[in-house]
Each structure stands twice: as C-alpha cells, then as structure tokens.
Amino acid sequence: MAPLDGVRVLELCHFLAGPYAGFVLADLGADVVRVEDPSHPDDARSMGPHFQGEQSLYFLALNTGKRSIGVRLATAEGRAVVEDLVRAADVVIDNYRPGVLAKFGLGHDALHALNPAVITCSLTGYGETGPDAQRAGYDYTIQALAGVMSLAGEPDGPPTKAGISYVDHSGGISAALGVCAALVERARTGTGTHVDVGLFDVQISMLTYLASWQRNRGADFTRTANSAHPSLVPAQNFRTADGHLALFVGNDGMWRRFVDAVGDPELASERFATREGRLAHRDEVIESVQRVLLTASSHEWEARLDDVGVACGAVNDVGGALVEPQSRARGLVLQNEHPAYGHYEHVRGPLPTLGPSALRPAPLLGEHTAELLEDLGYSPERVAALRDAGVVS
C-alpha cells in the first residue's frame, strides 16, 4: 500500500501550484478528485503550445493520477453536490485568492461545519493575512519580491528568473507537506484543521543562510559569472569541448583528487591547496581549470571525475535529463494511456519510492462524475437528472 491509500482529496485548483500539490498527494496514493466548474474550466486545459489530441500536455503533466467531476458552483444544486463530496472527503485543497470560495459558501469554516474531520488547505500567493493577502501572486512576481531573482544571472546582466516555475512547484510540495502534517494531527485529535500556505512564505523560508547572513551581518549579495559559488573555488559552470560542466569542489580533499585526476602541474601549486588559497587566487584557478576542461567533452569529464569522487555534472537539456540512467533506474518517467487521447509520458512525484508503480491517466473534465456521485449514494436517475439540468457534467 502507498502511504496515502484510502485518503480522499478534493482539489479545487487551477494552473500549477495547487494541481502540483494534488499530483504529489496522488503519487503518494491519495484518491485526488478534481472538482471542476464546466463554466470556468482550468485554463491549464487549453494551455499550449503542445497538445495530445485535444488535451493540453501542460494539463496532463500536472493532473495524472486524478479523477474529475464537473459541477457548476454558481448553482444551489451544484454547491449541494460539493457539500456531499466534502462530507465524504479527508482533505480539500484550493488555490484561489482568499475569500473567493467563501462567496460560494465553500470557505474553510463552512467546510469544517459540514465535516469537522476534514482538512482544508488554501495555497495562495501571499497567505491569508497581511497587507498583500489579496494581491495577485504568480511565480514570476514572487521570485522577484522574495529576492531570488536578484541572485540569478550574469553580473553585468539583468536579474533572472529560474528556468522552471520553482515557486509554484516548491509551494505545491509545501502544501502537500502541510496536508500530511494535518493528517497526522487529525489521527491524534479526530478533528480537521486549516492549512494556510503562501508561496511568498515558502520562498522567504528558502533564503535560510542568506537571510541569516543579511540580518545578522548585513551581508550584500552580488551575482557571479558562470553561476559561481561566492566563496568556494572552483564551484561553477565551465565550458568543455562540447558543452558545459557544473563542477563543485567542496573541500580540500576533493581538490586534491581533482588535481590528480586532471594531471595539470599548474593546478598542483601549493598556493591553491587550501580553500582560502583558491579563493584568494580565484581568477588564476578558474582560468587554469577552464583551460583543462576544454580538452574533453562534458560526459568524458563527468566519468573521469565521478570515478574519484569529485562532484560534477554535465549541463543537460531537458531531454538529456529525462534519459539519464539515473532517471530510468529510479522510474522517474512513466508511460500512460487514455482511451480518448492515447499514449503519453510524464514524470512522477518527488518521492518515487513511496508511491504506486502506476498512476491513472489525467482525466477529461467530468470524466468520473457518475461514478463519484454513485459512490455517494446518488441513483443513476438522479445523476442523469443533474446532468440534464446542467448542474453536473
């Protein structure tokens, strides 16, 4: 059994952070049910530029492993359906701005009144309190406000965002962690609780030692060329004969192994033997290391240096990362098949050894409406009547 087998999660989410939280929980075995309003479908369903049949691959990547029920939240009958779903749920996740679901009578206080054991989790840009609570929060803007854009990019270039939506992804993981913690608490108390997750909170938390240096020593931070570490040398990206290699020499013992492996007499100089010496002679060390690494390919250096325990990695593109032997060995890329839109591949969640070996394919909107309602005790005739009235789809 997967850790969250038997846990029912209702997901009222859109786009990325919330759906990724649900994806992580599904990959840990939870039964994640997307509650989708056909009047306002998730924009991710139409997100280009790549599609599988008529289905957005962006959407499929974030919603594999889930079921879907289509319910019109603006109708009294639709809200009654959602309330019945809540009574049978363990967790409800949303990523709307604070107060949006309350306007439909589905705020977390109302949900706890329906089911005192339910755990609610709201994932918002800035959390539910404070002066920015109602502010629109997106990955781009929060990378900027949380200080991390100022740290990325070349010294003479502009601030730069990360190459992936890491604010949304780390926020989704944090929401999943909050839900798991709340499930543990409920096992003790029998009562559900509300989890308030702000993307901004998560990013400020991830400043860790940088925040400590700034608050306690007034440290200033400047961008470094080639993504170099500010104090460890050599620890940065280097050009090779065919691409780039990320090299990280973390201590003096690793430096000695590196020098022995490359066999360059200049690098064997005593003035480079210590961390302090390499930092004092940074430019000279970097120039010499760069000269040596240009003599072979990234993967040739990776193989040679791995053999002696020197931390390094060829700078892959996305396609290269997905076919790494380690990706295959850990089962990080899965195959899936849907009767309507066919075969596709996707990555799995961040804890691959804990989840099931396979996930159901991402759902069409309302694909599981009938089975979910019949599980709640609705008769086929009642389900048909709700469909005919446009309450569910």
Q: Measure the CA–CA gap between 238 and 246, rounded to whole angstroms.
A: 6
pLDDT averaged over every residue in the chain = 97
Q: What is the mean pLDDT of residues 125-147?
A: 97
pLDDT range class, residue 318, cuts 50, 70, 90: very high
Task: List, for residues 58-112, the tens digit of each pLDDT value.
Answer: 999 999 999 999 999 999 999 999 999 999 999 999 999 999 999 999 999 999 9
Distances (CA, A) of 293 to 231, 259, 274, 321: 21, 12, 21, 21
Distances (CA, A) of 317 to 217, 313, 321: 38, 12, 6
What share of the chain in percent tops pLDDT 70? 100
Residue 200 has a pLDDT of 98
What share of the chain in percent tops pLDDT 90? 99
Residue 165 has a pLDDT of 97
Residue 156 has a pLDDT of 94
Q: What is the mean pLDDT of residues 192-201?
A: 98
Q: What is the mean pLDDT of residues 32-37?
A: 97
pLDDT range class, residue 215, cuts 50, 70, 90: very high
Q: Measure the CA–CA gap between 86 and 186, rounded to whole angstroms.
A: 16
Residue 238 has a pLDDT of 98
Helix (H, G, I), strand (E, B) or coil at 96: coil
Task: List, for residues 325-368, the tens digit of each pLDDT value.
Answer: 999 999 999 999 999 999 999 999 999 999 998 999 999 999 99
Contact partners, residue 212, CB within 8 Å, separation at least 6: none
Active site residue 201: no
Q: What is the mean pLDDT of residues 223-232?
A: 95
- Provide the CA 293 distance to its chain's centre, in angstroms: 33
Tokens of 69: 């029920």
Place of tokens 């309003």: 37
SS (H, E, C) 283-303: HHHHHHHHHHHCCCCHHHHHH
- Provide the CA 351 distance to its chain's centre, in angstroms: 12
Residue 172 has a pLDDT of 98
Q: 27 and 63 in contact (C-beta within 8 Å)?
A: no
pLDDT range class, residue 391, cuts 50, 70, 90: very high
Q: Measure the CA–CA gap between 360 and 121, rounded to whole angstroms.
A: 24
Residue 70 has a pLDDT of 98
List beta partners, residue 347: 333
Residue 102 has a pLDDT of 95
Helix (H, G, I), strand (E, B) or coil at 318: helix
Task: List, for residues 237-246, the tens digit of each pLDDT value.
Answer: 999 999 999 9
Q: Measure the CA–CA gap between 170 and 139, rounded to whole angstroms.
A: 10
Sheet holding 31-36, edge to edge: 66-70, 31-36, 8-12, 91-94, 119-124, 194-198
Residue 88 has a pLDDT of 98
Place of tokens 């759902």: 363
Contacts 24+ apart (CB under 8 A), 288-291: 288/264, 289/234, 289/238, 289/247, 290/238, 290/239
Point out the catalytic residue in the list 31, 139, 168, 201.
168
Buried b (16+ CB within 10 A) or exposed e, 128-139: beeeebeeebbb
Task: List, for residues 264-312, the tens digit of each pLDDT value.
Answer: 999 999 999 999 999 999 999 999 999 999 999 999 999 999 999 999 9
